[in-house]
């Protein structure tokens, strides 16, 4: 079967219609975890790297808690202003954290 996909690289731009997302390599939950930054709307889609109001979790032998925290504080923390720090803010009912969304 022919492969119709390729992996993303850190900081790669992805165009979805009129929107631009930046792929961020955020290992920890899994070794190949990615988050997606919507700079225009000040949002990051983190998957399981960040849960509502707390860090994600490690789930396999390729998970690494040190990498998870580095991803949150160094990578995600470098693109989102401190005022939107997902670990310092309370979650809203919509499961969105002032610009940080986890799905």
Mean pLDDT of 27-37: 92
Q: Is the pLDDT of residue 99 over 70?
A: no
The count of residues in the chain is: 103
How would residue 23 be classed by pLDDT, with cut points 50, 70 and 90? very high
Share of the chain above pLDDT 70, in %: 76
| CA–CA gap between residue 83 and residue 99 (Å, rounded) | 10
pLDDT per position as a tens digit, 39-74: 888 888 988 888 877 787 888 888 888 999 899 888
């Amino acid at each position: 079967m022919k492969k119709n996909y390729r992996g993303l690289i850190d900081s790669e731009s992805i165009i979805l219609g009129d929107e631009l997302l930046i792929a961020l390599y955020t290992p920890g939950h899994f070794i190949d975890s990615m988050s997606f930054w919507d700079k225009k709307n000040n949002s990051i889609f983190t998957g399981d790297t960040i849960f509502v109001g707390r860090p994600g979790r490690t789930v396999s032998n390729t998970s690494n808690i040190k990498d998870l925290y580095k991803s949150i504080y160094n990578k995600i923390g470098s693109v989102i202003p401190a005022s939107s720090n997902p670990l310092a803010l309370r979650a809203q009912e919509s499961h969105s954290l002032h610009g940080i969304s986890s799905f």
